[in-house]
Amino acid sequence: MTAPEPCDISQDMNEIHPEPPSQAGGLFHPRNAIFRFAILIFVSALSFGSYFAYDILGALAPTLVEELGAARGTLGSFYTMYHVAAILFVLIGGFLIDRLGTRKASLMFSLLVLVGAIVVWQARSIPVVFLGRFIFGAGSEPLIVAQSAILARWFKGKELALSFGIALTVSRLGTLFAFNTGELISSQFGSYRYALFAAVLFCMLSILANIVYIIMDRRGERLLGLKDSATEEKIVFKDIGKFKPTFWIVTMLCMTFYSAIFPFTALSTDFFVDKWGISRYAETSGGFLYQVFNSFLHMFSTAGGITGIIIFASMIFAPFAGRMVDKIGRRASLMILGSLIMIPSHALMGLTYINPIFPMIALGAAFVLVPAAMWPTIPLIVPKERVGMAFGMMTAIQNIGLALFPLLNGILRDVTKSYTASLLMFSGLGFVGLIFALLLKRTDARGDGALEKP
């Protein structure tokens, strides 16, 4: 729903720019952990709105099929359009982060996210939805890259993997809300457009969080004597060719892994309704807020809620997994384990009528392990002045898969009249990811073994 090596704020920069005694005190001083974790909360919220807006169309898939008369291939292409924009703009976003700094770049991307969400909300035809998703993708994926660079800037050498895990938890709360409330909002207010309007409101909240981050980051620079996160060095495109082989293996693993998760969840709500006849939302009496609360209580009994199991698992356990990675390392080994879990999980849902809750819980475990180990590897294998570029390249290649497989998923469903072929395709992606994970461990072992170290 994505690292330049930052300054070690509490040690290296203090040696270079010692603080006068009058500035050193205060519980909320940028040198203190409480300031860093406060900034983490607002940085995590940068992508909350975009995660909700990204998945709300998947949450509404059964309703959109009925009300718009849209084929599943068309619904999949809504995601494809988003990721086409991401492919075009995410690498540019990485360059902008390195050149402009995270503050200016993140605010620019946040505004694009909001504009795209508004266009989708106001769209009265499918082509306009495509336009809105394109604008939305042009801002959303670069915003995730900026978020990663911000975390690297503030947490490198400290709780880097933990910070990624917490950010993932807060961001994916947006996805969880989308899948558990999308159909409920549509039913409660009489139109799916109200759910799209909710996406606009959440994107506005994320912009407010962005503004707070900007204020806090400026204060940190002023009191700690830090340089602006923008670089004065010239960005040379050929520098990408200097990245280590481990970077490219991680990048390919990233593409295959996420291509087996997000394109699946894009239509999994429709899949659970289509194959098992699972309810779209939990019916109950009472006010709207009570019904929202009730939908979360009964998330294992609704199609959207079961889809949200993967996200719920990542929200709860990602911070712990991140902390575990900080302590034990074993990054390549954890990526192997996550890929192994994914293969039978998709195959069981495609070939059997086993209760989908159990394979979805397994997919949730894979979705905790692999990202927690994968994203924090970038600051370990990429020069510090090229972290934004590295995240941009990795996310751009990731989005090639995320553009292709939602469309293939929808087309396979329309042609075969079932999701069996799609699930076998996703299981196959898990197998390809396993090959890359094994290759990563082998390559890392032949080098300095940094990925397996704490």
Q: Hey, what domains does the chain have and what are their CATH numbers?
A: 25-228+241-452 (1.20.1250.20)
Cα(49)–Cα(301) distance, rounded to whole angstroms?
Answer: 25
**Per-run averaged pLDDT (10 residues), the chain, 454 residues:** 38 39 55 79 90 91 80 87 86 77 88 95 90 94 85 75 79 87 88 93 94 87 63 55 84 94 91 91 77 80 90 79 82 90 96 94 91 83 76 82 91 92 96 93 81 79
> What does the angle CA 260 – CA 368 – CA 133 come to, to the nearest 5 degrees?
50
Cα(154)–Cα(151) distance, rounded to whole angstroms?
Answer: 5
Backbone angles phi, psi at 184, to 5 degrees: -65, -45
* 269: Cβ contacts below 8 Å, ≥ 6 apart: 58, 59, 61, 62, 179, 183, 280, 303, 304, 307
Contact between 322 and 343 (Cβ < 8 Å): no
Helices (H), 190-330: 193-224, 245-259, 262-276, 288-297, 303-307, 309-328
Question: What secondary structure does DSSP assign to 415-443, as a single string?
Answer: HHSSSHHHHHHHHHHHHHHHHHHHHHHHH
Measured between alpha carbons, how far is residue 293 from residues 170, 283, 451 in Å?
Answer: 18, 12, 41
Cα(122)–Cα(129) distance, rounded to whole angstroms?
Answer: 9
Instruction: Return the pLDDT at 12.
Output: 37
Cα(302)–Cα(308) distance, rounded to whole angstroms?
Answer: 10
Instruction: Tell me the residue type at 55.
Output: D
Sign of CA dihedral 228, 233, 236, 240: negative
Question: In DSSP terms, which residues pair with 279 in a beta bridge?
Answer: 302
Label residue 15 exposed, middle or buried (CB < 10 Å: 0-12, 13-18, 19+).
Answer: exposed
Cα(108)–Cα(90) distance, rounded to whole angstroms?
Answer: 13
Q: How many CB atoms lie within 10 A of CB 313?
A: 20
Question: Residues in the chain, how many?
Answer: 454
Instruction: Return the pLDDT at 291.
Output: 80
Cα(396)–Cα(4) distance, rounded to whole angstroms?
Answer: 17
Write out the two tokens for 396: 């751009």
Instruction: Return the pLDDT at 238.
Output: 67
Instruction: Return the pLDDT at 229.
Output: 52
Q: What is the value of pTM for the model shown?
A: 0.76
Q: CA torsion 73→52→50→154, rounded to 10°?
A: -130
Instruction: Return the pLDDT at 275.
Output: 93
Instruction: Return the pLDDT at 6.
Output: 33
